[in-house]
């Protein structure tokens, strides 16, 4: 597992260490200035596999890897994205799919409202995407990169599990309560306050 760190990196890295107490091997890629989701992934390029599974660090997602791998293999996809159905897409932006499961459009948040599919922040993608990113540049995968890849084979897998974006205080607290109820959040005061939410948790 590779953790991209930036703000309070020392505290996060000190808490998780090499990952042995979690039965993981953890490596770190530390930003010294904000690089966005794309720039952070580019910084970690020497450490990543091909393909690579990328998870946003500000959400909790119940998802399964198997359908992603099946779609990636069967469609010879360039990228597979986990999607989630919500009652109102206005806070997140939305994603449209065709009947083959191919993503045809990423729509910015605020453009539309009502029920629909959203990007849940879990991606299985070819390393070629990362190789093509400019180094040392702040860039957003979601806004600057993904829309340009649609003609290369980007597919979506809809997950039915729980999704929580911790971008607002109420949802941050909801995620913490959920993880604490499952025994996955330490109450150690020295631990990072969001340490259970480092991507799509299963």
CATH number for the domain that contains residue 23: 3.90.550.10
3-class secondary structure, 52: strand
Q: Tell me how far apart the alpha carbons of residues 52 and 130 are, in angstroms, rounded to a whole number.
A: 10
pLDDT at 193 over 60: no
Contact criterion met (CB below 8 Å) for 89 and 113: yes
Mean pLDDT of 20-45: 95
Residue 199 lies in a domain: no
Residue 107 lies in a domain: yes
Residue 82 lies in a domain: yes
Residue 170 lies in a domain: yes
| Domain membership of residue 139 as a residue range | 2-181
More reliable by pLDDT, 143 or 202: 143
Per-residue pLDDT tens over the stretch 73-107: 999 999 999 999 999 998 898 999 999 999 999 99
Residue 168 lies in a domain: yes
Residue 189 lies in a domain: no
pLDDT at 189 over 70: no
More reliable by pLDDT, 113 or 52: 52
How many distinct structural domains can be found in the chain? 1
Q: What is the pTM of this model?
A: 0.85
Q: If 0-12 CB within 10 Å is exposed, 13-18 middle and 19+ buried, where does residue 6 land?
A: middle
Percent of the chain residues past pLDDT 70, beyond the cut:
91
Residue 85 lies in a domain: yes
pLDDT at 190 over 50: no
Residue 99 lies in a domain: yes
């Amino acid at each position: 597992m590779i953790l991209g760190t930036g703000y309070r990196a020392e505290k996060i890295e000190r808490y998780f260490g090499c990952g042995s107490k979690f039965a993981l091997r953890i490596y770190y890629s530390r930003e010294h200035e904000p690089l966005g989701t794309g720039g952070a992934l580019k910084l970690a390029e020497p450490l990543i596999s091909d393909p690579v599974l990328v998870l946003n660090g500000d959400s909790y997602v119940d998802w399964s890897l198997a359908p992603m791998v099946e779609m990636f293999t069967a469609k010879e996809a360039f990228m597979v994205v986990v999607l989630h159905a919500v009652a109102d897409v206005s806070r997140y932006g939305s994603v449209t799919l065709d009947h083959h499961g191919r993503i045809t459009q990423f729509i910015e948040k605020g453009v539309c409202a009502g029920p629909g599919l959203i990007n849940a922040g879990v991606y299985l993608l070819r390393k070629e995407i990362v190789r093509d990113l400019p180094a040392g540049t702040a860039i957003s995968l979601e806004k600057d990169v993904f829309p340009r890849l649609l003609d290369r084979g980007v597919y979506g897998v809809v997950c039915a599990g729980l999704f929580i974006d911790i971008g607002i205080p109420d949802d941050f607290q909801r995620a913490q309560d959920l993880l604490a109820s499952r025994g996955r959040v330490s109450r150690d005061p020295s631990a990072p306050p969001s340490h259970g939410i480092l991507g799509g948790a299963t």
